[in-house]
């Protein structure tokens, strides 16, 4: 399809959303932010999935809603981060948060485990048994103990590190980014439905001519690249006749769409490639079609287009 919906991958995604299989698109946060359901449904890479969502939102086909904030490493951009708590005395990371006890008689403060003697509490400084909280001892809270230097501190130095390359940085250096969920813009449902209304009759015409036909089919060419085409059709087994149909709906379809169609045709080695342009190609595109000897069917009446299309594909 040409503008406003230009990409078969986009149409594949929109079809899934309109059918209720994917009502809400949500991000997954790991080493990076991804949208795996978009990758799966639209048949695109992780990077392309995000571009696809951005394009469809800008074109008005998707609604974008705030989901959460994510923070990235300022050095390698990963979102997989962890805090690093560091001893303020010796800079060691080997610190632990421990509960404290204060012996009120001698004033000794130490971590709780050093007071424990079997089932009793005994001051490690003066040796006296502690019987009653608030009378013999109190619990002043927690502290951070560093086994490396043996010092206690009320709070450690907090830094952050990425799990990808272990870069260390201050939290304020992290790159903040808003993440979004996406839903279908219902105001565009009728418009998108009309686009699908062009594709299904083409598939049905193929089938009336004895082809097996699928819409939004991934077809791998001799280059090893997988191409997503609007309709792919095949007839016969020994020397099969293969055909692809690209359907472009715009006023004045540009040459780059023609060249893309031609490139797919060469790579997939299609027997009967067809470009349907409604209402028409622009002048430069028509020149390319003539030069490349590609079959194009133009017109604003889609019933007439289907009739001409069916007559062409039914030819032996």
pLDDT for 104-124, tens place per residue?
Answer: 999 999 999 999 999 999 999
DSSP-derived pairing of the beta strands 226-235 and 295-298: unpaired
Distance CA 204, CA 17 (A): 23
Q: Do 203 and 214 contact (CB within 8 A), yes or no?
A: yes
**Are β-strands 295-298 and 272-281 bridged in parallel, bridged antiparallel, or unpaired?**
parallel
Element containing residue 220 per DSSP (H, E):
strand 212-220
Does the domain spanning 192-314 belong to CATH 3.40.228.10? no
d(CA 68, CA 146): 35
Residue 216: both structure tokens together: 């939004």
75, HSE (Cβ side, Cα atoms, 13 Å): 14
Which candidate, 148, 161, 202, 13, places its Cα nearest to that of 74?
161
As a whole number of angstroms, the distance between CA 5 and CA 2 comes to 6
Residue ranges covered by each domain of the chain? 8-73+175-184, 82-160, 192-314
Query: Which helix (H) or strand (E) covers residue 292, if one does?
Result: helix 283-292
Q: Do 8-73+175-184 and 192-314 share a fold?
A: no
Length of the chain: 316
Top CATH class, 8-73+175-184: mainly alpha
Whole-model pTM: value is 0.68
Measured between its terminal Cα atoms, the distance across the chain in Å is 28
* pLDDT by 10s per residue, the chain, length 316: 434 565 788 988 999 999 888 999 999 999 999 999 999 999 899 999 999 999 999 999 999 999 999 999 999 999 999 999 999 999 999 999 999 999 999 999 999 999 999 999 999 999 999 999 999 999 999 999 999 999 999 999 999 999 999 999 999 999 999 999 999 999 988 888 877 888 889 999 999 999 999 988 889 999 999 888 889 999 988 788 999 998 887 777 889 888 989 999 999 999 999 999 888 888 898 898 888 989 999 988 888 999 999 999 998 5
What mean pLDDT, rounded, does the chain reach?
A: 91
- Please name every residue paired with 281 in a beta bridge, in sequence order, or none if there are none: 253
24 phi and psi angles, rounded to 5 deg: -135, 130
């Amino acid at each position: 399809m040409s503008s406003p919906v230009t990409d078969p991958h986009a149409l594949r995604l929109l079809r899934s959303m309109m059918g209720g299989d994917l009502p809400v698109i949500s991000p997954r946060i790991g080493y990076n932010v991804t949208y795996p359901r978009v990758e799966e449904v639209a048949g695109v890479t992780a990077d392309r999935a995000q571009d696809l969502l951005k394009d469809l939102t800008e074109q008005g086909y998707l609604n974008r809603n705030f989901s959460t904030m994510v923070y990235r490493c300022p050095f390698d951009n990963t979102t997989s981060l962890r805090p690093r708590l560091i001893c303020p005395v010796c800079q060691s990371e080997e610190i632990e948060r421990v509960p404290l006890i204060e012996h009120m008689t001698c004033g000794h403060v130490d971590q709780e485990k050093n007071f424990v003697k079997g089932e009793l509490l005994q001051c490690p400084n003066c040796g006296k048994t502690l019987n009653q909280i608030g009378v013999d001892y109190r619990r002043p809270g927690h502290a951070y103990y560093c086994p490396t230097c043996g010092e206690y501190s009320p709070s450690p130095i907090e830094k952050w590190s990425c799990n990808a390359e272990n870069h260390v940085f201050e939290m304020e250096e992290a790159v903040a980014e808003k993440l979004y969920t996406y839903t279908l813009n219902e105001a565009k449902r009728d418009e998108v439905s009309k686009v699908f209304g062009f594709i299904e009759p083409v598939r049905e015409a193929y089938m009336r001519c004895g082809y097996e036909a699928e819409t939004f089919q991934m077809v791998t060419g001799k280059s090893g690249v997988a191409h997503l085409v609007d309709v792919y059709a095949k007839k016969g087994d020994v020397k099969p006749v293969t055909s692809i149909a690209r359907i472009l709906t715009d006023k004045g379809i540009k040459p780059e769409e023609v060249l893309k169609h031609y490139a797919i045709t060469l790579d997939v080695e299609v027997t009967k490639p067809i470009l349907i342009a409604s209402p028409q190609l622009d002048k430069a595109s028509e020149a390319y079609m003539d030069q490349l000897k590609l079959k194009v069917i133009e017109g604003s009446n889609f019933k007439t287009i289907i009739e001409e299309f069916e007559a062409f594909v039914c030819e032996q």
